Amino acid sequence: MSQCQFYHQLKLLLWKNFLIRRRQKKRLFIEFFWPLMLFLVLCWVRSQALATRRPDCHLVPKALPSVGGFEFIQNYICSFANPCFDYDIEDEEHWKEAPVNKYTSRFIKFMEIYLKDPDLIDLIRDEMVNLSINHQKNQSPGTVRQQPLPSSPDSPLVSKGNEIQNFLCGEFQGSILADLTEAEFDFDALEDLSFLPNPGMTIKDPGLSKNCRVMFAKLHRYRGTSLVWKTLKHFIRGWILFAPNNSYTDQVMMKVDEKIKELQQGAAVMKSFESSFTSIRDWAVENTDDVETIKKVFADDALVDKILSGWNVTDVDDAAHMRDMLKLFAKTDTVESLNILIELTKEVQKFIQCFRFDKRVGYETEKEAVEAAALLQSSNMVWAVVVFEMDEHKNATLPDPLTIKIRMDISKVDKTNVIQDRKSSRNRPRRQPFKIKYITYGFTYLQEMVERAAIEVKTGKLLDQHTSFIQQYPFPCHVQDFFLGVLALTFPLLMTVSWIYSAAMIIKSIVYEREHHLKEMMKIMGLPNAVMWLGWLIDSFMVLSLSATMLSALLKFGNILPYSDFTLIWVFMISYSVSVICLSFLMSTFFSRANSAAAAGGIGFFLLYLPYNFFKLWLDRDALSWYHVLPFCLISNIAFGLGCSTFVELEKDGVGALWESLNSNTDDFDLRYSISMLWFDSFLYFALTLYIEVISPASAGIPKPWYFLFQPSTYIKRSKLIANNSNEFPVESTLPIQSSANTDHTCLVEPVPDHYISGVKVIGLGKTFPNGRIALKNLNIEFYENQITSFLGHNGAGKTTTVSILTGIYPPSKGTAFVNGYEIMKDMDSARKNLGVCPQYNVLFSRLTVAEHLTFFSGLKGKDRQVSAKEIEVILDDLRISEKGNDYPSSLSGGMKRKLCVGIAFCGRSKTVFLDEPTAGVDPYSRRSIWELLLKYKQGRTIILTTHFMDEADILGDRIAIISNGTLKAAGSSLEC
């Protein structure tokens, strides 16, 4: 096919598709506005203020063990939930504001020094008398308001845990237990916890007291405390195994044990608090009236200032702290509060007594240490295995440099197969404690203790004067957009639903043409398969590209994806629209009924979206990497869904999807993979569509072998044109009927003059259908130019089967044929260039007029529109349907439809015309019109007319060929037959 002819046919096909689509107004409206309606609703939701401004996020510093015993415990508890503040936090200064640091020491000192002084009560009474006259007119002493600690919830252990936390941490943002059980807890955090050993699955733990067992059982009973206990048990009761075990490594690990034993200081501090609180409580119980009097005085700011000046408290900070402490004392139930504090200190002492402080256990080899750790791991009783890279069999000094391996349970350290363990997001600056595993589970703490101990052993110098804190980088102020959280779930779904209708209609339109034999008719008339599919692609793309452009504008300027580049959104949407079209093409090859194809195709299109949700979840949980998901992106809806998620994630980050960041190197499935896979899928779907069409052309067409791509004939241009001379087709005048078992005579074939030109030659043609029925048996016959050959036979004789094989609708079971000099099994496309067909059934487009039908099929033969217009006028006049030129086929009678089909067969000056019972079921008037047309147009054409009417065959046929039961009985003029 020449390039000019290619563009001509493509232009004609687009013209036909445009007319049909323009006349389907409802479909066109739905295809354009259905996606817009969904996203207009989304824009309206976006306009409702769902964004919240968040201040800077400064994360608390985390103390390492070098800070010291009690301070380290306080910092670990207070920073466990990784709280976030809107102001900068210094390392060791932050927790000095906690009650245990800010008030407790001063309160004990005040109670012991001042309240036990008998002169203080007299001093306060005198001050009250002196000041009451000056103040009673203007103000009265502040109302005493008791503020006991909150009542305990159902779980006393949880209550005590919260009270200890508040006591140690002061103005702490939230609760550790509440944070562990809140609804926004990450799925991946829960997954990590699920792999932690169950503390309930305990092995024998020598040295564990009965009280400790009871306490641990209570911790395991409740959900919140159970999660904490899973996290802390290996700290409290776990061993630290090390290898090799020699004098130097044992010195290092002994220093680690000594650092851990500093935690016992916490018990001593709590014992001191308990003693002081008990002494103060006993005094308060014995002096109830004096306590109430003091509270009234401390509730008045003027009296407090007077008392502080009398005590010579001149430092501003000391005065402020003392004033706060006195106000707190005035507002609380002193005895009740002291009882609670005493109980808390006792609980902490009991808990510290359950610690295993001698944790080191040495082994000769790393293998032995790892095997021992494997046995302890199931009960969560091993902290880590420390391996010193040195000769296991020599008691040598520590090597220089020293290499140390710390091996922990895989669920207690971050994965090392990715650059980052989760996508960064501006909406979640605070990471859950179980997502910073190296800190939460103690790898960092143990690393510092081992390294400092090794340095001290190696150098002989102590490092006590040096302390270390670690702190995450602060996070800037940002906008937390709740809408984007919803969009991440709904965006891919909305896009899929938006184009389900378009996909279903594309599938239906393609299958409709196949179901009503329109596609095969166009191929018979010379339209190549590739041009037909390209026409569908361009036609569908024009509609979906306009829809994609409007959707891109809505997404960008409707403030749904405000940070992303509009052109990048548009390219992404266009990529998906092309993949939708090609996927629809592929799905259409599996259906033969239009309505069923539309329903099943729409459902199938939606079902292909569903796997996306699973892959998205697995990607977020690091269960899969991007290269694992890439093969599944051969389903375009999965690739598109992941691309939509990338857009939303980048919008959450406040940067959006931009061209300059498209090639950023990350471990995530980013936008470049999504767009690339959409285009790859499109080419793959289109190639598979063409391949399936070739090897399995539905109910019509000659299939090629599945391996045709590997045949040289597929790529090498064949020149099989044979001169139209009957001498080049040697056929005997009489041919034996080899396939007939019940006959013993020969077929009579009238000799023809030498000047007859063969237009169609059939050689040994046979056809057996899959059900076993034999339609043709070794058929041999010639049809000549400038003649009408009447192919006569009863119903079921094989006439239609012969025509179907010669036009390429069915493949022959054996034998071959030449049409216009081209072999049908090898050069059917070339043979069809000058072929016209009128099948038994009407092959008409429901939304094209009579004149448009003739224009379209004439144009497929390469005729110019102006030339075709003149020919069409003549054909309409000859068929006597000129007045129906602008009518649709639905308004024509049965006879007029047959006339139109005959006119289509002759339009475009077809050289070979097959008419399969063109006058069947036609009224006499229409029948006469068709006869006249055939007689007028037979010159220069080879016309094969199948019929079972003897009179029609006799009147029209220059030669008559009689066929019965698939075999030729006679061929010649009417007098000979």
* Dihedral-angle region of residue 884 (phi above 0 means left; psi in -120 to 50 means alpha; beta otherwise): alpha
| CATH numeric code, 717-972 | 3.40.50.300
Instruction: Quickly state the pLDDT bin for 797 (edges 50, 70, 90).
Output: confident
**pLDDT score, position 549:** 93
Distance set, CA 535 to CA 514, 525, 543 (Å): 15, 16, 13
Q: H helices of 671-792, where?
A: 671-695
pLDDT of residue 976: 55
Map residue 85 onto helix, strand or coil. Answer: strand
Beta strands in 799-869 (DSSP E): 814-819, 822-823, 835-838
Residue 846 contacts residue 21 (beta carbons within 8 Å):
no
CB-based contact 584:541 (threshold 8 Å): no
Quick: pLDDT tens for 288-311.
Answer: 877 777 777 777 777 777 766 766
779: left (phi over 0), alpha (psi -120 to 50) or beta: beta
pLDDT score, position 395: 57
Q: Which residues contact 167 (CB under 8 A, 6 or more apart)?
A: 98, 99, 100, 341, 344
Range 485-493, long-range pairs (CB < 8 A, 24+ positions): 485/427, 486/45, 487/42, 487/560, 487/648, 487/651, 488/645, 488/648, 488/649, 488/652, 490/42, 491/644, 491/645, 491/647, 491/648, 492/609, 492/612, 492/637, 492/640, 492/641, 492/644, 492/645, 493/609
For residue 741, the model assigns a pLDDT of 36
Please state, in angstroms and rounded to a whole number, the distance separating the CA atoms of residues 349 and 941. 112
Q: Where are the domains of the chain?
A: 3-48+485-695, 717-972
Dist. CA 812–CA 828, nearest whole Å:
13
| CA distances from residue 771 to 318, 398, 703, 768 in whole angstroms, order as listed | 105, 87, 18, 8
Q: Quick one: pLDDT band at residue 122, thresholds 50, 70, 90?
A: low
The percent of residues in the chain predicted with pLDDT above 70, rounded, is: 77
Largest CA distance in the chain: 153
Task: Please provide residue 174's backbone torsions phi and psi, each rounded to the nearest 5 degrees.
Answer: 90, -175
pLDDT of residue 224: 66
Tokens of 51: 């964004």
| Residue in the structure block whose two tokens are 């048990």 | 233
- Whether the CA torsion 572, 576, 579, 585 is positive or negative: it is negative
What is residue 165's predicted lDDT score, i.e. its pLDDT? 55
> Is the pLDDT score of 599 beyond 50?
yes
Task: State both tokens at 951.
Answer: 């009179």
Identify the pLDDT of residue 285.
84
Higher pLDDT, 138 or 317: 317
Element (H, E) at 383: strand 382-388
Q: How many whole angstroms separate alpha carbon 764 and alpha carbon 496?
A: 54
Look over the chain and give the mean of its residue pLDDT values, rounded to a whole number. 78
- Provide the pLDDT confidence category of residue 152 given band limits of 50, 70 and 90: very low
Residues of the chain above pLDDT 90, percent: 20
pLDDT the model gives residue 202: 46
**What are 516-568's pLDDT values in tens digits?**
888 888 887 778 888 889 999 999 999 999 999 999 999 898 888 888 999 99
* pLDDT at residue 140 greater than cutoff 50: no
pLDDT digits (tens, 9 = 90+) for 605-623: 999 988 888 877 777 666 6
Q: What is the mean pLDDT of residues 438-445?
A: 90
Looking at beta carbons, which pairs linking 886-890 to residues 24 or more positions away fall under 8 Å? 886/849, 886/850, 886/851, 887/849, 887/850, 888/846, 888/847, 888/848, 888/849, 889/842, 889/844, 889/845, 889/846, 889/848, 889/850, 889/853, 890/846
Rg (CA), the chain: 46
* pLDDT class of 451 with cuts at 50, 70, 90: very high
Predicted local confidence at residue 174, as pLDDT: 47
The answer to whether the CB of 899 falls within 8 A of the CB of 930 is yes
CA atoms within 13 A on the CB side of 838: 27
57 DSSP assignment: B
Distance between start and end Cα atoms, the chain: 42
Q: Sign of torsion, CA 575 579 580 581?
A: positive
Q: Assess contact for 551 and 36: CB atoms under 8 A.
A: yes
Q: Could you report the per-residue pLDDT of 452-507, keeping only the tens digit for each? A: 999 998 888 888 788 888 888 888 887 777 777 777 778 888 888 888 999 999 99
What are φ and ψ of residue 697, in 5° steps?
A: -80, 50
Q: In this predicted structure, which of 356-365, 441-450, 715-724 has the lowest mean pLDDT?
A: 715-724
Measure the CA–CA gap between 538 and 548, rounded to whole angstroms.
15
Report pLDDT digits (tens) over 153-182.
344 444 445 555 555 565 544 444 444 444
- Reply yes or no on whether the pLDDT at 31 is more than 50: yes
Place of tokens 């290996």: 234
What is the average per-residue pLDDT within 733-755?
55
pLDDT of residue 866 exceeding 70, the answer is no
The per-residue pLDDT for range 822-836, each reduced to its tens digit, is 888 888 877 887 888
Q: Report which residue type is found at 737.
A: I
Task: Pick the closest to residue 186 from 531, 423, 505 (CA basis).
Answer: 423
The DSSP annotation for 858-881 comes to HHHTT--HHHHHHHHHHHHHHHT-
pLDDT value for 186: 44
Amino acid 717: pLDDT = 54
Q: Are 916 and 905 in contact (CB under 8 A)?
A: no
Please choose, from the candidates 665, 182, 100, the residue with its C-alpha nearest in 3D space to the C-alpha of residue 430.
Answer: 182
* Predicted local confidence at residue 169, as pLDDT: 65
d(CA 241, CA 244): 10
Tokens of 847: 């939304």
